Structure formats: structure tokens, C-alpha cells
Amino acid sequence: MTAIEEYRRERLKKIDKLREYKMDPYPAHTDRNISIQKFIDTFDKLSQKETKKTLAGRVMSIREHGKSAFVDIYDGSARIQVFLRADVLPKGTFDLFLETVDEGDFIECRGHAFVTKVGEKSVLAQKWKMLAKSIRPVPDEWYGLKDEDERYRKRYLDMLLDEGTADLVRKRSIFWNAVRSFMLKRDFVEVHTPILETKTGGAEARPFITHHRALDMDVYLRISTELWHKKLIIGGIPKVFEIGRVFRNEGMSHEHAQDYMHFEFYEAYQDAHKGMATVIQLYRAVAEQTFGTLIFKIGEFDVDLGKEWEEYDFNALIEERYGFDPRTVDRKTIEECLTKEGISLEEGSDVGRGVDLLWKKVRKTIGGPAILTGIPVYLEPLAKKSADDPRVVDRFQILIGGSEVGKAFNELNDPLDQRERFEHQQALRDKGDEEAQMADFDYVEAMEYGMPPTFGFGVSERLFSFLAGKSIREAQLFPLMRPRQEGQ
């Protein structure tokens, strides 16, 4: 019998003991009428009048001293010590406590504010009851969960034992609510668009495929919300945004996950040149509200969101590093540069894929915050061509910590140009490039009814993970894990 099985067997016996005493080990009701944090905040007032309150929480530690015991409980708001004495509790319930209660159990205690001889704020319990008997032992707080795989699989224990992880959960909420508040204050309409699609659009990525039984057809999990939002713009809703999940069936890394939170907004009658000021304000506001600072350590870079953001030209950076102009480069030159970098170009991929692979090498050297412009047309099928140079698009990338952490566009609103670019992307897919965009001619048809000049922007939860100093998987609440084999 394993140690866990032995623990479970002993705790199951304690459940029987509780039931013998007519105490339900899993009651539906609790008389809790104050949080631990509120109890601590009003402790002095409560102690003066010996006001009785009922608190509840998980038992984190038990220290027995003859006919008394000190118990720490935690309810998610704070932690407090409960003092139990045999001569204060109802007859027999002190012994029952010692016989049946373990670390990890949820209990309820009714009592009044009490300061111990060593000056610790506590609760002097007049009675207690079980709220939920734990069957498995919670790991020791001191040692916690050291194995990364175990931490991700049992994130609920990681949150319980590591205040940093619990704080991350709270900060995620603050982060996305700060984004939402920022947009709502500027009269944007929050929308919720389909997750299941017959075609994926808005990004170049390999999608997840599933089957819709009722309609008997395969559908995709969305990789972006972009095309839906631009249909809303066409439909006369001039300012829209969405915070939601997107799914990309691609590799895993420090900054890549397969499903993650994504934020996009679109504003009609606005352009990216003017709109970037709003984006910078957004980043600063969200960082300040979530983390209380604009200065971060991201990898090897010190990043100050409060300083003036640098500007870089994509083509100048590539030419400086590799000696060619991306706007006019041929495939042979790209392949030679990729070979020197130890990178191979997949069969069916075009020049754009090769340029993008080389760009990722350059990008890792830029700490930011910075704005990147001058991206060639072939790298962005959905952005408007620059009026100054039709070989590039009006796309603005946010660079922070050596990575892309946000993209802004002057959205393409010429349906004839859009059709041509979709046809090019579809040709790449037909040659085997699974990340090329699907040709969505329904969207082109919508554009033909007329789409006003529009500014669009999107950023994923990578921004949160970077500012938090975590990998994207660690910054997620429950990252996807490969199931364990039976017996592991």
C-alpha cells in the first residue's frame, strides 16, 4: 500500500467518526458571516465588545498543547490563528477535533477576537464544525510543489502553497479588467464573436479542427477575431473590441501557447499613425493598474514603458543584419541567409516565410518598448498598403523584450486588393503551407458593400506574461498538459 493510499484509508475512517458523532463531513450550509481579512481589519473593535463571529477556512496547520490547540485557517482573503480549548468548547468536541481534523480540511469556527500571551491576533473558538473533510494530504507548505510538471498539473495546490501563484491569478483579473475599462471609457462596444468557424482568418496559423455533428461538417477553432470585427465595422458599429480565447495548433515555447486570451479592437474613421498614441496609453494604464509600475525586467532587458518609445524600420533592420532589402529579395538570397543561420525553409513556403524566420532572429535583440514599421506587403495580407511605398503596409508592431507584443494596422478596405491577396494566400495553402491564410471570399463580399478607413489593434496574454516575468504557460491558470499514463 502506498503512502497516499494509507493516508486516504485513515482519513476515510475519520469521516466515519464524524458521522458517528452526527456531524456531517460535507454540509451544504455554513454560518460564516465574516471573511478572515474583514475580521482582522476590524479586530480591535470586535475584541472590545467580544463580538462573536463565525469564520471559515482551510486548516493550514495544527499545533496541539495538551487540552488546547492552535489552528491556522485560510479562506483566500487572509490567514488567522484559531485557539481551541477543551474547557471552552462543548463537551467532547475538542477531543473530536483532535481525532478527526487534519491539515487541508475546511472548518468553521465561532468565537470572538482574542490576543494570545505572545500578542498574536486570534479567534477564541466557542464551537467548531467540519465543512469539508480532505481525503488526500496537502503537501507541506515549506516544501510546496517543486516539480514544474506537478505544479502545472495540480495548479490548485500550487495556488494554495505559493502566494506568488495566487497573486498571479488576481493580477490576471486586474489586467484584463483594466483593458476592458480602458476601452469602455472610450465608448468602444464589447462584442463576442464565434469561436467555431468554417474558415479561419485574421492571422497566419495552423488551426485546430473539430467536427460539428448537427451540421455534419468539419469546423475550425478561431485563430483570430479580426474578420468578424471588421464585418461589424461594415455593419455600422464604429468602435468594437473583444477579449476572448483563440486557438493555434502550433509549437510550445516560453512565449507560445495553443490556446490563450487575446484582445483586439477596431475603430472606424481612425488611422494607425494617430491611433498608436492610444495604444501606448493603454499599455501604460494597464501596467500601472496591474503591477503598480512602468519599469520591468523582461529576460535580459530592462524595459521602461514610461519613456519615449523607439521607432524602427523593418527593412533597414534586415538590411543591416543580412545585407538585402526585404522588399525586393529573391528566394535564393533568402535560402543562403537561412542556411548560415542553420534554418531550413519548408517545402511550399514562399519568400515571406523565409524573411519572417530571419526577422525573428533580429527581433530578439530589441528590448523596447519600440514600434516597428515598414513590413512588406507579402507578410501581411490584411493591412493597407502604405501611401508612401506600396511595397510595404501600414502595420505597426509593438516590440518588448525581444518579442512581438501587439500589432496595429491601417486595415485594408479595398475589396479588389483583398481578393488578390487572399488568392495568393490560398495558392500557398494549396502548395502545402498550412499556416497561410484561408481565402475568405464571404468577407470580401462584405467589403464590397463598403468599409470605412479603420484602425485595428491586437495583443495576446503574452503581454501579461512578459510583464509578470513568467513564461506564458506559467502565467496561465491551468496550462494544457499531456495526460499521465496509468500508474505514473
The CATH number linked to 54 is: 2.40.50.140
pLDDT for residue 3 is more than 70: yes
pLDDT for residue 99 is more than 90: yes
Residue 481 lies in a domain: no
Shared domain for 231 and 280, answered yes or no, is yes
Shared domain for 128 and 272, answered yes or no, is no
Average pLDDT over residues 398-421: 90
The pLDDT score that the predictor gives to residue 153 is: 84
Strands 301-304 and 310-313: unpaired
Query: Which tens digits make up the pLDDT trace of 145-189?
Result: 566 777 788 888 888 888 888 899 999 999 999 999 999 999 999
Shared domain for 224 and 352, answered yes or no, is yes
Shared domain for 40 and 172, answered yes or no, is no
Average pLDDT over residues 296-320: 92
Q: What's the pLDDT band for 282 if we cut at 50, 70, 90?
A: very high
Residue 147 lies in a domain: no
Shared domain for 109 and 224, answered yes or no, is no
Closest CA to 438 of 209, 256, 231, 194: 209
Residue 137 lies in a domain: no
Q: What average pLDDT is seen over the chain?
A: 89
pLDDT for residue 236 is more than 80: yes
Residue 179 lies in a domain: yes
Retrieve residue 218's grid coordinates. 468539419
The pLDDT score that the predictor gives to residue 194 is: 94
Query: Which tens digits make up the pLDDT trace of 333-382?
Result: 887 788 887 877 666 667 778 888 888 888 999 998 999 999 888 887 77
Q: What's the pLDDT band for 49 if we cut at 50, 70, 90?
A: confident
Residue 398 lies in a domain: yes
CATH code: domain of residue 307: 3.30.930.10
Average pLDDT over residues 64-75: 93
Residue 138 lies in a domain: no
Residue 383 belongs to what domain range?
159-475
The pLDDT score that the predictor gives to residue 176 is: 97
pLDDT for residue 311 is more than 90: yes
Shared domain for 115 and 221, answered yes or no, is no
The pLDDT score that the predictor gives to residue 459 is: 94
Characterise 216 by phi-psi region: left (phi > 0), alpha (psi -120 to 50), beta (else).
Answer: left
**Cis ω for the linkage preceding 369 (within 30 of 0):** yes
C-alpha distances (whole Å) from 231 to each of 235, 266, 439 are 6, 11, 16
Residue 153 lies in a domain: no
The pLDDT score that the predictor gives to residue 141 is: 57
Residue 289 lies in a domain: yes
The pLDDT score that the predictor gives to residue 368 is: 86
Average pLDDT over residues 387-409: 90
What's this model's pTM, rounded to 2 decimal places?
A: 0.85
Q: What percent of the chain has pLDDT over 90?
A: 55
Query: Which tens digits make up the pLDDT trace of 443-454?
Result: 899 999 999 999
The answer to whether the Cα torsion of 25, 26, 28, 33 is positive or negative is: positive
Shared domain for 237 and 375, answered yes or no, is yes
Non-local CB neighbours of 62 within 8 Å, separated by 6+ positions = 69, 70, 71, 101, 102, 103
pLDDT for residue 433 is more than 80: no
The pLDDT score that the predictor gives to residue 147 is: 67
Shared domain for 231 and 125, answered yes or no, is no
Non-local CB neighbours of 217 within 8 Å, separated by 6+ positions = 198, 211
Host H or E run for residue 410: strand 403-410
**Count of structural domains within the chain:** 2
Compute the distance between CA of residue 450 and CA of residue 443 in angstroms, rounded to an integer.
11
- Per DSSP, the residues of 40-68 read HHTHHHHHHHT-EEEEEEEEEEEEEETTE
The pLDDT score that the predictor gives to residue 337 is: 82
Closest CA to 405 of 436, 369, 352: 369
- Per DSSP, the residues of 336-376 read HHHHHTT--PPTT--HHHHHHHHHHHHHTT--S-EEEE--B
**Considering only 26-35, 122-131, 312-321, which range has the smallest mean pLDDT?**
312-321
The pLDDT score that the predictor gives to residue 53 is: 94
Shared domain for 379 and 470, answered yes or no, is yes
The pLDDT score that the predictor gives to residue 487 is: 54
The pLDDT score that the predictor gives to residue 92 is: 92
Non-local CB neighbours of 215 within 8 Å, separated by 6+ positions = none
Shared domain for 199 and 113, answered yes or no, is no
Shared domain for 194 and 302, answered yes or no, is yes
Closest CA to 381 of 460, 315, 435, 452: 435
pLDDT for residue 58 is more than 90: yes
Mapped onto helix, strand or coil, the DSSP state of residue 413 is: coil
Which residue has better confidence, 219 or 150?
Answer: 219
Strands 239-247 and 259-268: antiparallel
Domain boundary among 88, 115, 132: 132
Strands 106-115 and 52-65: antiparallel
Shared domain for 84 and 180, answered yes or no, is no
Query: Which tens digits make up the pLDDT trace of 190-217?
Result: 999 999 998 887 677 788 999 999 999 9
The pLDDT score that the predictor gives to residue 422 is: 84
Amino acid, single-letter form, for residue 357 = L
Compute the distance between CA of residue 283 and CA of residue 279 in angstroms, rounded to an integer.
6
pLDDT for residue 246 is more than 80: yes
The pLDDT score that the predictor gives to residue 144 is: 55
